[in-house]
Amino acid sequence: MAPQVYVYDTTLRDGTQAEGISFSVADKVRIAEELDHFGVHYIEGGWPGSNPRDMGFFEAMRGKQLRHAKLTAFGSTRRNSNTAEQDANLLKLLESETPAVAIFGKSWLLHVHDVLRVSPDDNLRMIADSCRFLADQGREVVFDAEHFLDGYMDSPDYALAVLKTAAENGASTVVLCDTNGGRLPHEVMEITRAVRAALPEGVQVGIHCHNDSGCGVANSLAAVVAGATHVQGTINGFGERCGNADLCAIIPGLQLKMGRSCVPAESMAHLRELSHFVCDLANVRDNIRQPYVGQCAFAHKGGMHVNAVAKNAKTFEHIEPETVGNRRRVLVSDLSGGSNILLKAEEHHISLDGKGEEVRQILDELKRLEAEGYEFESADASFKVLMDKLLKRHRNFFELDGFRVIIEKRGPEEPCLSEATIKVKVGGETEITAAEGDGPVNALDIALRKVLKRFYPEVEAMQLRDFKVRILDGVGGTGAKTRVLIESGDETGTWGTVGVSENIIEASWEALLDSIEHFLIQTHADK
């Protein structure tokens, strides 16, 4: 049976070094609880010796019982001018009261000479003293050999001496760090294999990769093939520069592809959920093209591909999407074939005859609209409305008699004011109302829902969440055709709609109209 691989998550420390990523103490506590629930083995919470926020996190975590993970504090080896017992950084690690601590030390002579500016022997003594001091205090010691892979390429004997010194003085795990992220998989594999052969079996070998050459995940998996049993990374690959190795790809790679147990089997179905949770707290949008967990990971667009997937999903899917909490998506565009339409209709509980004229009619209209600039890949609700209209099953909840939008600026220092007046007919009644908004589209949205809520009170539950504008042909300048994508949502989910026109307000209205009609169709489906 293959050995267990231990997952060491450093999202809360290394991940926060990414540009634009910051977590409050409360955020870090919530993420730590989710990581523990997911089943990682180590959670590196921060560097208590570097800032008050990280120390505040460890204080907030005291008394909390983790089911799977060991909370880990991070720091450096002692300074050359201090003894271990007097080193403020090491004392802060003890003060954090975590069962495990991780310390980094230099393993590349370039850094020893040019950064630390100490002798190679002094560097080894700093490592030995620091590991021994922490181990003697009852802590599990993880030693991160910073820049190890570069150091080994430069001087393998000294780099190995660093690891052996740490292991002989109490470090239970030594981690080979590709700190610059520049090494390639074949190099990582060869070096890890040499390290594993040089160290006693009782010492665990780990890997910590950055993604500067785009090989963070591949390098991590290569190290495991060569004997590493401890893998460090971050959720979504957050990290300095180009990021750290992405645990959302490493974990399924290990467990589903390599047969190496690393988290509880039942946790795998929650991987996408964990990825999105961390993005939400980081206040960044999900990477839709992220392997395994991204929105596009199992999205199929080409007609021939969709046809094959409909017959056997293994033809174009390397795993079952549900295994990692994802789902299959069939996209519709001018590249679509009949299979796309059939599967998309099935998603919306519409039964079509694959050999009937309806499929061809929908496909022809789709391709005509895409040629005009419409895009339905991110506008699923608009495509549903389109299908309903072509199939003559669309229900008109209201009719527009007209609208007017006024934008006014009353002075150079005054904000723009937007006001929309709208006239609609519901049944036999005509209603006119007006509303102000932050912009013309917001004013239209508020006015339309204001007039509709007397007839359909449920429209108060939906809201416009995102608004994107794209100029389709820059040659036309301000008169160019414009595509507007709107994302709307309620407490049950989100949906996308699209509009296209030379007039940005009219394009916005088209997308807004589809959004509200889709919502009303869904809420009145059984009425």
Better pLDDT: 95 or 470: 95
Q: Rounded distance, CA 457 to CA 520, Å? A: 10
Q: What confidence score (pLDDT) does residue 17 get?
A: 93
- 270 and 336 in a single domain? The answer is no
What pLDDT score was predicted for residue 69?
A: 96
Going edge to edge, which strands form the sheet with 399-408? 399-408, 417-426, 429-437
- Residue 474: is its pLDDT beyond 60? no
8 Å CB contact between 61 and 78:
no
User: Hey, which bits of 116-201 come out as E strands?
Assistant: 140-146, 171-178
Q: What is the CATH number of the domain that holds 451?
A: 3.30.160
Number of domains in the chain: 3
Cβ atoms of 22 and 248 closer than 8 Å: no
Query: In this structure, how many other beta carbons lie within 10 angstroms of the beta carbon of residue 299?
Result: 17
* % of the chain exceeding 70 in pLDDT: 96
Long-range pairs of 87-93 with CB within 8 A, sequence gap ≥ 24: 87/130, 88/49, 89/49, 90/130, 90/133, 90/134, 92/48, 92/49, 92/55, 93/48, 93/49, 93/134, 93/139
Q: Could you give the CA distance from residue 369 to residue 485 in angstroms, rounded to a whole number?
A: 15
Considering the chain, what is the average pLDDT of its residues?
Answer: 90
Cβ neighbours, 10 Å, residue 481: 17
The confidence score (pLDDT) of residue 479 equals 58
What secondary structure does DSSP assign to 396-431, as a single string?
-S-EEEEEEEEEE--STTSPPEEEEEEEEEETTEEE
More confident residue, 319 or 373: 319
Residues 248 and 315 in one domain: no
Look at 91 and 472; give whichever has higher pLDDT: 91
499 in any annotated domain: no
51 occurs within a structural domain:
yes
| 104 against 470, higher pLDDT | 104
Is residue 264 domain-shared with residue 328, that is, in the same domain? Answer: no
Residue 111 has pLDDT above 80, yes or no: yes
> Are 324 and 272 within one domain?
no
pLDDT at 107 over 60: yes
At 296, is the pLDDT very low, low, confident or very high (cuts 50, 70, 90)? confident
Residues 234 and 121 in one domain: yes
pLDDT digits (tens, 9 = 90+) for 120-149: 999 999 999 999 999 999 999 999 999 999
Residues 184 and 331 in one domain: no
Residue 462 lies in a domain: no
Residue 451 within any structural domain of the chain = yes
Same domain for 197 and 316, yes or no, is: no
For 67: left if phi > 0, alpha if psi spans -120 to 50, otherwise beta; the answer is alpha
CB 46 within 8 A of CB 12: yes
pLDDT band at 464 (very low <50, low <70, confident <90, very high): confident
Same domain, 54 and 100: yes
Give the whole-angstrom CA distance, residue 445 versus residue 437: 8
Residue-wise pLDDT tens digits, 489-503: 888 888 889 999 988
Look at residues 232, 257, 282 and tell me which one is the last residue of a structural domain.
282
* Structure confidence at residue 525 (pLDDT): 66
pLDDT tens digits, one per residue of 328-376: 877 666 566 777 777 777 777 777 777 778 888 888 888 888 888 888 8
Domain stops at, among 282, 312, 344:
282
- Binned at pLDDT 50, 70 and 90, residue 114 comes out as very high
> What is the Cα–Cα distance from 434 to 440, expressed in whole angstroms?
12
- Identify whether residues 190 and 251 lie together within a single domain: yes
End-to-end CA gap in the chain: 57
Paired residues of 421 in beta bridges: 404, 434
pLDDT tens sequence across 224-258: 999 999 999 999 999 999 999 999 999 999 999 99
Whether residues 44 and 183 share a domain: the answer is yes
Look at 206-220, 236-250, 480-494 and tell me which has the smallest mean pLDDT: 480-494
Here the CATH number for the domain that contains residue 133 is: 3.20.20.70
What is the pLDDT at residue 381? Answer: 86
Q: Indicate whether 92 pLDDT > 90.
A: yes
Quick one: pLDDT at residue 247? 98
Between the alpha carbon of residue 110 and those of residues 6, 93, 146, 254, 415, the distances in Å are 31, 27, 12, 34, 57
Of 437, 455, 473, which closes a domain?
455
Contact present, 98 and 69 (Cβ < 8 Å): no
Q: Report yes or no on 45 lying in a domain.
A: yes
- Map residue 523 onto helix, strand or coil: helix
Give the residue numbers spanning the domain of 161: 6-282
Q: What is the pTM of this model?
A: 0.76
pLDDT tens-digit map of 369-414? 888 888 887 788 888 888 888 888 888 888 888 899 998 887 887 8
| Rounded Cα–Cα distance for residues 457 and 219 (Å) | 55
Q: Cα separation of 36 and 500, whole Å? A: 47
CB-CB neighbours of 416 under 10 Å: 11
Q: Is residue 187 pLDDT above 90, yes or no?
A: yes
Does 340 share its domain with 425?
no
For tokens 């390290």, the residue is 195
The sign of the dihedral angle between the CA atoms of 316, 285, 374, 456 is positive
- Output the pLDDT for position 273: 94
Asked whether residue 165 is domain-assigned, the answer is yes
Residue 119 tokens read as 């002798």
Q: Do the Cβ atoms of 234 and 265 come closer than 8 Å?
A: no
Within a domain: 408: yes
Give domain status of residue 468, yes or no.
no
Contact at 8 Å (CB) between 301 and 339?
no
129 shares a domain with 51:
yes
Name which residue leads in pLDDT, 221 or 392. Answer: 221
